[in-house]
Amino acid sequence: MADPIKLYPPKPSKVYFFGTCLVDMFYPDAGMAGIQLLEREGIEVIFPQDQTCCGQPAFTSGYHDEARAVAKTQLGLFPEDYPIVVPSGSCGGMMRKHYPDLFKGTEDEVRAAEVAGRIWELTDFLLNVCHIKLKDVGEPTTVAMHTSCSARREMGVAEVGPKLLGQLDNVNLVEQVRAEECCGFGGTFAIRHPEISGAMVSEKVDALVDTGARDFVTTDCGCLMNIHGYAEKNQKAMSGQHILSFLWGRTGGDKGEPS
């Protein structure tokens, strides 16, 4: 049976945008870039003002009742039948893959499953629903890419970032030897197991540096914070950016043309 996440809908006129906590608090430029890329494709973006956390930190820590309470407040934010786009494979994976089980047997079971079925990781949506075409207006550069575990394994979008970057004529994408390995962030994992997390991110940063690139992009802000923060603290020659910010900048921002 085909994974329903790959049954792409026609390009819609409107979408809901779920911003995520890390975008909201630390990387608002990534959220704005995602919204602007969608708007440039002719899509109206609706941002529910009452959105908070998807509930993943509590869920992955084993506090399912608390996670359900947080997640329940999100279920009523998307009343119309529009796709819900998320600039994070991690939060997207929580909402798409885990909401149905989290609410199974509750009064919100049907609504949770319906919301989950409309969740899309944003780069996947841009490539495979909007069929975005990118025109590179930047100077030649070389970048590496890190795809989060959730984006790769839960949302199934490991190939999307490279395909988008491949549209940029002046961008040379180099692959790290640890492409499929975790950066060590893992939400609360980095807090509960700091020594293990630190060893993992150290190996990840070394792998990125060994590519010869001095810049990397990623689809998730948690990975971005962890990798870039470690590199900066340890004076490694590696700087990071969310892929949405990178794509928006490389295509000239609002000077770019819609697909």
pLDDT in tens, 156-184: 999 999 999 999 999 999 999 989 999 99
Neighbours of 21 (CB within 10 A): 17
Residue 255 has pLDDT above 80, yes or no: no
| Residue 111: inside a domain | yes
State which H helix or E strand residue 146 sits in. Answer: strand 141-146
The predicted pLDDT at position 254 comes to 54
Domain boundary residue, one of 79, 107, 128: 128
pLDDT band at 2 (very low <50, low <70, confident <90, very high): very low
Quote the number of domains for the chain.
Answer: 2
CATH number, domain with residue 146: 3.40.50.11810
Q: Which of 83, 104, 128 is the last residue of a domain?
A: 128
C-alpha span between 224 and 32 (Å, rounded): 17
> Residues 79, 145: one domain?
no
End residue of a domain, out of 64, 96, 128: 128
Question: Average per-residue pLDDT in the chain?
Answer: 94
Nearest to 37 by CA among 124, 132, 138, 148: 132
- Tell me the pLDDT tens digit for each residue of 102-155: 999 999 999 999 999 999 999 999 999 999 999 999 999 999 999 999 999 999
Query: Residue 25 is part of a domain; what is its CATH number?
Result: 3.40.50
Strand order in the sheet with 239-242: 171-174, 141-146, 215-218, 239-242
Q: Evaluate whether residue 118 is within a structural domain.
A: yes
109 and 160 within one domain: no
pLDDT tens profile 7-61:
899 999 999 999 999 999 999 999 999 999 999 999 999 999 999 999 999 999 9
Residue 53's domain comprises: 12-128
Domain assignment of residue 177, yes or no: yes
Give CA–CA dist 16/108, Å, rounded: 20
> DSSP letter string over 69-129?
HHHHHHHTT--SS--EEES-HHHHHIIIIIHHHHTTTSTTHHHHHHHHTTEEEHHHHHHHT
Q: What's the DSSP call for residue 1?
A: -
The two three-digit tokens of residue 54, written as one number = 């998807």
Q: What is the pLDDT of residue 191?
A: 86
pTM for the model: 0.94
In this predicted structure, the answer to whether residue 81 has a pLDDT above a threshold of 90 is yes
